[in-house]
C-alpha cells in the first residue's frame, strides 16, 4: 500500500514536471486531467486522523470517569498518535492547515499529560483540544462515525463541545458531578 502511495506521488511529480516544461507550447489538457484525478484519489482516504482520535477518545473517557492519571496517560498516547499520522493520507492543499492544527493539538496534549492530579486544568485544555479535533474532522473527514456533543454548563457556563464515538452522553468536563449534561448537536459519517 505504501509503495503504491509512493508511486502515485512520484507520478504526480513526473507529471507536474512534464506540465511545467510544456507549459507554453502544449495545449493538450489530458495531462492536467490526470493530475486532478490523482489528487482526488489522495483525498478519498479519511483515516488520516485515526491515530489522533484514539488518544482523544480515551482522554474523554478518562475525564468522564474523573480519572486524572488516566487522562494524563491518554495525553501521552495522543502525542504518540500525532507522530503516527500517515502524512501521505493528507492532501497537499490541506497540509499547511493540518500542521497548524497538529501543533495546537500537541501543545494541549502536553499540558494534559503533564498535569496528572490537576483535573480542572486538564479539562480546560480539553476545551481547546476538542476545537482542534473538530477542525481536523472538518478538514480531513471523519475516519469513523462521530458525534459532536455540546454542554451549555461547561467553560464557566459559556458552553463547550466534545467529540464522541457514541451518542451516549458521558460528560468529560464534569464527570460524575454532571455526567449526562449535554446533547448531540452534529453527527459525522465516515
Ligand atoms: Cu496547561
HEC string for the chain: CHHHHHHHHHHHHHHHHHHHHCCCCCCCCHHHHHHHHHHHHHHHCCHHHHHHHHHHHHHHHHHHCCCHHHHHHHHHHHHHHHHCCCHHHCCHHHHHHHHHHHHHHHHHHHHHHCCCCCHHHHHHHHHHHHHHHHHHHHHHCCCCCEEEEEECCHHHHCCEEEEECCCCCCCCCCHHHHCCCCEEEEEECC
pLDDT of residue 22: 38
Ligand 1 midpoint to CA 46 (Å): 30
The per-residue pLDDT for 45 is 59
Q: What is the pTM of this model?
A: 0.76
Ligand 1 centroid to Cα of residue 129, in Å, is 11
User: What's the confidence (pLDDT) of residue 161?
Assistant: 98
Please tell me the predicted confidence (pLDDT) of residue 131.
Answer: 98
Measure 127 CA to ligand 1 centroid, in angstroms: 11
Predicted pLDDT at 48: 81
Of 129, 112, 130, residue with least CA distance to 121: 112
Cα of 162 to ligand 1 centre, how many Å? Answer: 18
Neighbouring residues of the ion ligand 1, judged by CB less than 5 Å:
111
- Which residue positions in the chain have pLDDT lower than 70? 1-46
Give 117 Cα–ligand 1 centroid separation in angstroms.
13
Cell of 86: 500517515
CA of 110 to the centre of ligand 1 (A): 8
pLDDT of the residue at 7: 53
What are the angstrom distances between the C-alpha of 142 and each of 74, 75, 115? 20, 20, 29
Distance 106 CA to ligand 1 centre (A): 12
55, 77 contact by CB (below 8 A): yes
| 183 Cα to the center of ligand 1, angstroms | 27
Q: Give the distance (Å) from ligand 1 centre to CA of residue 104.
A: 12
pLDDT of residue 20: 40
Residue 34: per-residue pLDDT: 45
123 C-alpha to ligand 1 centroid (Å): 9
Amino acid at each position: 500500500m505504501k509503495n503504491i502511495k509512493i508511486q502515485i506521488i512520484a507520478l504526480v511529480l513526473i507529471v507536474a514536471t512534464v506540465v511545467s516544461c510544456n507549459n507554453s507550447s502544449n495545449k493538450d489538457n489530458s495531462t492536467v486531467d490526470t493530475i486532478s484525478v490523482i489528487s482526488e484519489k489522495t483525498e478519498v482516504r479519511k483515516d488520516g486522523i485515526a491515530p489522533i482520535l484514539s488518544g482523544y477518545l480515551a482522554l474523554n473517557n478518562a475525564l468522564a470517569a474523573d480519572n486524572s492519571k488516566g487522562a494524563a496517560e491518554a495525553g501521552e498516547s495522543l502525542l504518540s498518535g500525532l507522530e503516527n499520522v500517515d502524512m501521505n493520507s493528507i492532501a497537499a492543499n490541506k497540509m499547511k492547515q493540518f500542521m497548524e492544527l497538529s501543533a495546537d493539538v500537541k501543545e494541549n496534549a502536553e499540558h494534559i499529560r503533564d498535569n496528572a492530579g490537576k483535573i480542572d486544568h486538564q479539562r480546560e485544555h480539553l476545551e481547546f483540544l476538542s476545537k482542534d479535533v473538530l477542525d481536523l474532522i472538518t478538514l480531513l473527514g471523519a475516519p469513523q462515525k462521530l458525534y459532536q456533543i455540546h454542554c451549555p454548563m461547561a467553560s464557566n457556563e459559556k458552553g463547550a463541545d466534545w467529540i464522541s464515538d457514541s451518542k451516549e452522553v458521558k460528560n468529560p468536563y464534569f464527570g460524575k458531578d454532571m455526567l449526562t449534561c449535554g446533547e448531540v448537536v452534529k453527527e459525522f459519517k465516515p
